[in-house]
Structure 1
Amino acid sequence: MDIDALRQDTPGTANRVHLNNAGAGLLSRRTLAAMTSHLELEAAVGGYEAAAQERDRINATRANIARLVGGQADEIALFDNSTHAWNAAFYSMRFKPGDRILTGRAEYGSSVLAYLQTAQRTGAEVVVVPDDESGQLDTTTLANLIDGRTKLVGVSHVPTSGGLINPAAEIGRITRAAGIPFLLDATQSVGQFPVDVDEIGCDLLTATGRKFLRGPRGTGFLWVRPEALEYLDPCVTEIEAATWDGKRGFTWHDGARRFETWEVSYSNVLGLSEAVQQALELGMDEIGRRAIFLGAYLRDRLEALPGVTTYDLGRNRCAIVTAKVDAVPTADVASTLTKQGINVTTTVAEHTQFDTEHRGVHPLVRLSPHYYNTEAELDRAVEVMAELARTAG
């Protein structure tokens, strides 16, 4: 990987140390060009006409995403964000009193709210699978909890609040053996390291474009295993999803397209397609090695600082690093880093409810490097946090 060339292709690296890739990655010049050129085309010829002119490139987006996750183009549905993609999958399932939804402590806040709403509406039960001694989802307990009442296992691959990588493939092995649908939220993993739906064994996968894929905001997608279409009843029906039969009925479109809506930002779609193509060209194995190395590099140096504590869980950890500086409010740590030109964010207790119930450690400073970051940039962040710890001590 030519890091210097990648940074030259990433305008944002010239004036910031961007350690907020778990929030939104920096766009490359080629992704930006794909988006702006389509906007210019819309301005020149009209929005509908531009879409018709670029139809082949737009349609190639699904094929590019399918290559990225190991699926087929007709198994991909495009959305304006990952939460809408996740909702489209989850709310297409039907639950009744006594049904059980199994999830983990690392589940994302919006998904937790959807589980709770569905439990209130239907009488289904939400069961939080405990972690093992490392802090990842306990797969032995998961297997023991699955019974005839279990209708869904929904898990975040990587939480928004730390470096944990949940054992998705082992979860998939358990759910496939039991015949239970497995919905994987891969929002923080797709683009950060290789994710293959067949190796994992999930039935539904959702992800965003704006984080480690380095695509534009306002993009996301859903992957659907073809067999899952038999038990999914999309919660929204419109002209992109179904065809009127000429009377008083309709038929769903083939594949995952039945989950899409007609109106979409095609400049964003083309930007996402370009970002995915760039990831494929660089190679997800190489991207994953670099990102996880940088995460470990940063975590090790923070752990070595007196007065600084890291909070990442699990046997396997990724490029998301969470920490606190003793006696310094988390918001002040983040503000100081920002003033030094270092982009970070903080975890939110309400966005990781089950983890908050268990640990109560939030808010934390969240630093998330990606492959185009340098060790020198990470050292700068460590120096700022070290000075804060020394001053507070």
Structure 2
Amino acid sequence: MMGDFDVEQLRSETPGCKAGAHFNHSGASLPSRSTLETIWDYLREEAADGPMETAARAGERLDAVRADAASLIGADPGEIAFTGSGSAAWGMTFAALPPLVAGDRILVGRQEWGGNLATMQAAAERAGARIEVIPVCEDGSVDASALASMMDERVRLVSLTWLPANGGLINDAAAVGRVTRAAGVPYFVDAGQALGQIPIDVAALGCYVLKAAGRKFLRGPRGTALLYVRRGILSQLTPPYLDVGSGPIVDGKVNVRDDARCFESAENSPALLLGLGNAIREARSLSVAAIHDRIASLADTLRDHLSSIPKVTVRDLGSQHSGIVSFTVGGIAPVQLRAALAERAIAIGANGIPYTPLEMTARGLNQIARASVSYINTVQEIALLSDAVAEVARRA
């Protein structure tokens, strides 16, 4: 028994653990057998009884998934929508804001995820608005005090990637929320790497919108994402498109839903959503706080191991660290390192500038290797990864 849960039991219930050492949980984690079977069982029902007929019986089960998702982040079920990806969730809510005009300002953290940034930059260029980067503290994290000094009547949005994709820091999202709340400015949080890794309380964050994919640290299926939209701000948003679920026409008039499901398509995969619900229940049963403690401990151990290897430079910033460990090895490109480790049945990521353009450019980095730790990893796997990196580094 380790912490409050039995890691070996959890690993035995995760088929992917038999294939090798998985350190790419920030890309996509390994689902449990129970999550997989939830999906398979539903698909078998569809095959036998018909997709529409099976969906008609699944209403209460899907309502329970929404309620569990809301509880996971401290929201109300009416503030939750499900989408096929985090990008779709973020893009729809951004498009729902009042149109930008010349002179408007958008303030972003230096670690803003590249997809969000591209969406904002394209809109700003069309309108004659501009994007400005919030200064960072000495440790590289977003500086909420500097943000406060930037606020004025032209600021239309503050956007923050809470746990950056290309590094191990954890931004102080709640401090940013206090600034935006005082100024009355919309605040979007990208929690893609936070969901399932650290406790989330949307009220404490003070955000208008929060989005996250289910496939990462939560260990849900790919093709699922959670979108939170604060109920009190829905009247300020205009969904970019509607369908018979989000805005049906009744008596000749469009009736847009008055909850977050105005951003949800009527066409989705109940099988994947039920799988997501299983992953959420598993995380809640273990306690996300306990999950975070174990991930933090394992990630710090990995940082220590990698820091001791010649030619290896750990690239993480921040005073608070996530389960993402970014590093480079002198003499070998991260994509080559990833391939060399894959030959040893060890999975890591390798990301370039497009993932966090502002951060990577500011630091003069073209690419980083990314080893992300889950609570189902072990100290033995960390030693295996470290030894393999050391071997590759010696040969570089």
Report what 2:16 is aligned to: 12
SS in 2 for 1:242: coil
Report the alpha carbon displacement of residue 92 of structure 1 after superposing the two structures with TM: 0.5
Q: Deviations over 1:249-290 (max 9, x none)?
A: 312112101111110011101000100011011101101111
Report what 2:234 is aligned to: 229
Q: Superposition pairs for residues 1-393 of structure 1, below 5 Å?
A: 1-94=5-98, 95-247=100-252, 249-392=253-396
AA in 1 matched with 2:112: E
Q: Deviations over 1:339-371 (max 9, x none)?
A: 110011101212211112211213111000100
Q: Which runs of 5+ in 2 are unaligned?
A: none
Structure 1 CA distance for aligned equivalents of residues 255 and 267 of structure 2: 20
AA in 2 matched with 1:178: A
Q: CA contact under 8 A between 1:346 and 1:363: conserved in structure 2?
A: yes
Task: State the TM-score, normalizing by the size of structure 2.
Answer: 0.97
Report the alpha carbon displacement of residue 245 of structure 1 after superposing the two structures with TM: 3.4
AA in 1 matched with 2:363: R
Q: CA contact under 8 A between 1:76 and 1:221: conserved in structure 2?
A: yes
SS in 2 for 1:147: coil
Q: Deviations over 1:119-149 (max 9, x none)?
A: 1222221111121110101111111111111
Structure 1 CA distance for aligned equivalents of residues 358 and 101 of structure 2: 23
Report the alpha carbon displacement of residue 201 of structure 1 after superposing the two structures with TM: 1.2
Q: CA contact under 8 A between 2:234 and 2:258: conserved in structure 1?
A: no
Q: CA contact under 8 A between 2:101 and 2:129: conserved in structure 1?
A: yes
Number of equivalent positions: 391
Indicate the percent of aligned positions where both proteins have the same amino acid.
Answer: 38
Q: Deviations over 1:188-243 (max 9, x none)?
A: 11111111101111111001100001000000021011111121111112111112
Report the alpha carbon displacement of residue 376 of structure 1 after superposing the two structures with TM: 0.5
Q: CA contact under 8 A between 1:168 and 1:200: conserved in structure 2?
A: yes
SS in 2 for 1:26: coil
Structure 2 CA distance for aligned equivalents of residues 66 and 374 of structure 1: 30
Report the alpha carbon displacement of residue 314 of structure 1 after superposing the two structures with TM: 1.1
Task: State the TM-score, normalizing by the size of structure 1.
Answer: 0.98
AA in 2 matched with 1:348: G
Structure 2 CA distance for aligned equivalents of residues 388 and 33 of structure 1: 38
Structure 2 CA distance for aligned equivalents of residues 84 and 262 of structure 1: 15
AA in 2 matched with 1:112: L
AA in 1 matched with 2:11: R
Structure 2 CA distance for aligned equivalents of residues 47 and 361 of structure 1: 48
SS in 2 for 1:364: strand
Q: CA contact under 8 A between 1:193 and 1:291: conserved in structure 2?
A: no
SS in 2 for 1:183: strand
Structure 2 CA distance for aligned equivalents of residues 57 and 30 of structure 1: 16
Report the alpha carbon displacement of residue 182 of structure 1 after superposing the two structures with TM: 0.7
Q: CA contact under 8 A between 1:295 and 1:321: conserved in structure 2?
A: yes
SS in 1 for 2:255: strand
When the two chains are superposed, the root-mean-square deviation of aligned CA atoms in Å is 1.0
Q: CA contact under 8 A between 1:92 and 1:235: conserved in structure 2?
A: yes
Structure 2 CA distance for aligned equivalents of residues 88 and 266 of structure 1: 21
Structure 1 CA distance for aligned equivalents of residues 60 and 255 of structure 2: 25
AA in 2 matched with 1:166: N
Structure 2 CA distance for aligned equivalents of residues 327 and 348 of structure 1: 17
SS in 2 for 1:347: strand
Q: Which runs of 5+ in 1 are unaligned?
A: none
Report the alpha carbon displacement of residue 292 of structure 1 after superposing the two structures with TM: 1.2
